[in-house]
A = this chain, B = another copy of it.
Amino acid sequence: MRADALKRFVPALSWLASYDRRTLPADVLAGFITAVLLVPQGMAYATLAGLPPQVGLYASILPPLIYALLGTSRTLSVGPVSVAALLVANALASSSAEAYLADALLLAAMSGVLLLMMALLRLDVLVNFISHPTLSGFTSGAALLIILSQLGNLLAISVPSTGSGLETVYKVATHLPGLDPITATLGAVGIALLLLSRRPFVSLLMRTGASESVAVLTSRAGPLVVISLLTVCVAILQLEQKGVAVVGALPQGLPSPSLDFLRLDRVADLLPAALMISLIGYVESISVAKVLAFRRRQKIDNNQELIALGASNMAAAFAGGMPVAGGFSRSTVNFSAGARTQLAGIVTAVLVALVALFFTPLFYHLPKAALGAIIVVAVASLLDWRGFVNAWRYDKADALTLLVTFGGVLLFDIEMGLLLGVIMGVGVFLWRSSRPHVAVVGRIPGTQHFRNVKRHSVETWPGLLLLRVDRSLFFANISYVDDLVAEQVADNPELKHLVIICSAMNTIDYSALEALEQLADSLHRAGISLHLAEVKGPVMDRLAHFGIEEWLSPGKVFLSAEEAVQTLKPDE
C-alpha cells in the first residue's frame, strides 16, 4: 500500500524498476538528439526572455531531472519554452537591470508554487475552460509577437522586446534605416539555412538513399550546425569588430544553488505574470504529453503533471534557471528520436550540464542574430493560419473567438488577449446554451407519439398547450423559455393548461427551479395550470424533495405526455 502511494507520487519508480535494457540505446540516442536541439534553443529562449544565454542552459539541467522522477509522461522534454520566455520578458519590462535575473528566478519559483497549489486544489480542470480556438489564437498571436520582438536582434536595431505588436512594428519601421547590413545578412543566412535544413534537406538525404527516419533525425542537428557555421564565420572574419553583437564570455560551470532571489516585496507585483506562466506552461505540457502518451497507450495523470511541473519550476529557480515547461516541438523530437522512458531526458540533462561546465567558451563568437534566427524559425510553425480557415468553415463564432484572441494578444498584450479569448469562448457557449430548442407539440393521430406542430400534422386541443424543451434548464436559458411561454400565453386567451415535456432535461439548476416556481405562480394568477411531463428520475427526486407537489398545485407531474393529454383534454 505504501509502496503504491510512493510509486504514484514518484512515477519514475515504476519504469525504473521494470526498465528493459534493450531500450537503453534508443533512450541514449534520443537524449543526445534532444540535447543537440536544446542547447541552442535554451540559449535562444533565454535571450528572448531578456536574460543571459546561460540561464537557458541552467533551466535545462535540474528541472528535467526532477520531471524525470515525478512526471507521468515518458517522453516530455522539460526546459525553456518560447511563450513562457515571452511572458517573462513582458512581466519584467519594468524591472531594474540589477533585479532582472532575481525577478526571473522568483517568477519560476512562484509558478512552481502556483502549480503545486493547483494540484492541491485539483484545479487541473481550469485549463478546460480555454477552448481550442482561444488557444490557437493565443499561440499564433504570441508567435507573431515573438517574431516581431526578434527583429531587433536580426537587424541590429534597438527595439524593446515588449509592448504591443503594433508598437513594435512602428518602432522597427522608424528605426529601419539604421539597420546593420552585416548583422541583417547573418540573420537572413541563418533563417535560410534553418529552413533548408528541414524539408529540403530531408528530401535530399532521402534521395541519396537514407531512410526517412534517419533523414528527419539528422535534420534535427540543423540549429547546432547553423550556429556553428555562423560562429566560425564571425570568428574568422572578426565581425564583432564590425559591430555584430555576439554572445561574448559566458561563465563556465554551474551557479551554486541558492534562494537569494526570494524577495517577498516583489511577490504581489509578479503574481499575475506567474499565474499566466504556470497556466500556459501547464496547458502546453499536458497537451503534448497526452498526444504522445496516446500513441503508445500510456496514461497521463493531470494532477501528477501539476506536481511534476511545479517541482520542476521550483528546481529551475533554485538552480538559477528561468521558468520551464514541456516544449511541444522538442518533446516531439524526443519521441520520434525513439525515447521510450525519461532516461532520455536524464541523458539530455547530463549532456547540457557538460556543455555548461566545459564548452561555454565555444559560444564566445556566436552572433545574437543566429539565436534570433533560431527563435523565428522555431515559432513560425506556431502560426496556425490553417486553424483559422478551418474554424471559419466549421463555425463562424468559434473562428471569431480565435480572431479576437489573436487580435487581443497583438493589440493589447498577451494576458489581455487570453482573457478576452476565454471570456468570448465561454460567452459564445453560454449564448448558444441560452437558446434551447423549444417546440409546441401535438399527437400524431392513432399513436402515442408527440411531434412538433410545425413539421407534422398532429392533433391539438383547445385550452391545452404542450411544450417540449430540448435541453437542461439553467440560469442562462430559463428566461428565454420564460419569454416563449409568456408569448404563447399572451397569444392564447383561452389557454387553461400548459404542459412542459421534460424528456430532454438532465438537470434543473436552482435558478431554473425558482423560475419554474414563479412561472407556476404567475400562470396560476392568470388562470392557467402549469404541468410537467416525462421528468427524468434524478430530476424528479430533487423536485419532489423540494415540495413540487405543493407549489405546482393544482398542476401535476405526469409520467407521459399521453397521460397528460388523457387527463387534461377538454371533454368532447
* Interface positions of A (Cβ within 8 A of B): 125, 127-133, 290-291, 293-300, 302, 390-391, 393-395, 398-399, 425-427, 429-432, 434, 437, 470-471, 474-480, 482-483, 486-487, 489-490, 493, 506-507, 509-511, 513-515, 518, 522-523, 525-526, 542, 545-546
**Residue of A125, A130, A429, A506 contacting most chain B CB atoms (<10 Å):** A429
**Which chain B residue has the least Cβ–Cβ distance from A477?**
B128
In the complex the two chains form, is B525's CB within 8 Å of A132's CB? no
| Complex partner residue of A434 from B125, B298, B474, CB under 8 angstroms | B125
Q: A129-B475, A399-B510 are in contact. List 11 more A-B contacts (CB 8 A).
A: A129-B476, A131-B509, A293-B486, A294-B486, A294-B522, A295-B522, A295-B525, A297-B489, A298-B490, A429-B476, A429-B509
Name the B residues within 8 Å of A393 (CB-CB). Answer: 545-546
| Complex partner residue of A430 from B129, B132, B437, CB under 8 angstroms | B129
Name the B residues within 8 Å of A430 (CB-CB). Answer: 128-129, 426, 429
Name the B residues within 8 Å of A478 (CB-CB). Answer: 128
In the complex the two chains form, is B432's CB within 8 Å of A511's CB? no
In the complex the two chains form, is B511's CB within 8 Å of A475's CB? no
Which 7 residue pairs are nearest across A and B when measured between Cβ atoms?
A: A131-B475, A132-B511, A294-B522, A398-B510, A295-B525, A131-B511, A128-B476
Given contacts A432-B507, A475-B429, contact A513 B129 (CB under 8 A): no
Q: Could you write out 11 A-B pairs with CB less than 8 Å apart?
A: A125-B434, A128-B434, A128-B479, A131-B475, A131-B510, A132-B514, A295-B522, A298-B490, A391-B510, A393-B546, A394-B513
In the complex the two chains form, is A506's CB within 8 Å of B296's CB? no
**Which chain B residue has the least Cβ–Cβ distance from A294?**
B522
| Complex partner residue of A509 from B395, B475, B486, CB under 8 angstroms | B395
In the complex the two chains form, is A128's CB within 8 Å of B522's CB? no
Name the B residues within 8 Å of A513 (CB-CB). Answer: 394
Name the B residues within 8 Å of A425 (CB-CB). Answer: 475
Name the B residues within 8 Å of A523 (CB-CB). Answer: 294
Given contacts A125-B434, A299-B487, A518-B291, contact A474 B429 (CB under 8 A): yes
| Complex partner residue of A489 from B294, B480, B525, B526, CB under 8 angstroms | B294
Name the B residues within 8 Å of A427 (CB-CB). Answer: 129
CA distance A420 to B497 in the complex (A): 40
In the complex the two chains form, is B542's CB within 8 Å of A394's CB? yes
Name the B residues within 8 Å of A300 (CB-CB). Answer: 486
CA distance A514 to B134 in the complex (A): 13
CA distance A497 to B537 in the complex (A): 33
CA distance A229 to B525 in the complex (A): 38
Name the B residues within 8 Å of A483 (CB-CB). Answer: 302
In the complex the two chains form, is B293's CB within 8 Å of A431's CB? no
Name the B residues within 8 Å of A429 (CB-CB). Answer: 430, 474-476, 509
CA distance A272 to B514 in the complex (A): 30
Name the B residues within 8 Å of A132 (CB-CB). Answer: 475, 510-511, 514-515
| Complex partner residue of A296 from B391, B399, B509, B526, CB under 8 angstroms | B526
Given contacts A479-B128, A483-B302, contact A526 B394 (CB under 8 A): no
CA distance A523 to B291 in the complex (A): 10
Name the B residues within 8 Å of A487 (CB-CB). Answer: 299
Name the B residues within 8 Å of A390 (CB-CB). Answer: 510, 546
Name the B residues within 8 Å of A434 (CB-CB). Answer: 125, 128
In the complex the two chains form, is B294's CB within 8 Å of A394's CB? no
Name the B residues within 8 Å of A526 (CB-CB). Answer: 294-297
Name the B residues within 8 Å of A509 (CB-CB). Answer: 131, 395, 398, 429
In the complex the two chains form, is A297's CB within 8 Å of B431's CB? no
CA distance A506 to B477 in the complex (A): 16
- A486 shortest CB reach to chain B, Å: 6
**Residue of A427, A486, A514, A525 contacting most chain B CB atoms (<10 Å):** A514
In the complex the two chains form, is A510's CB within 8 Å of B133's CB? yes
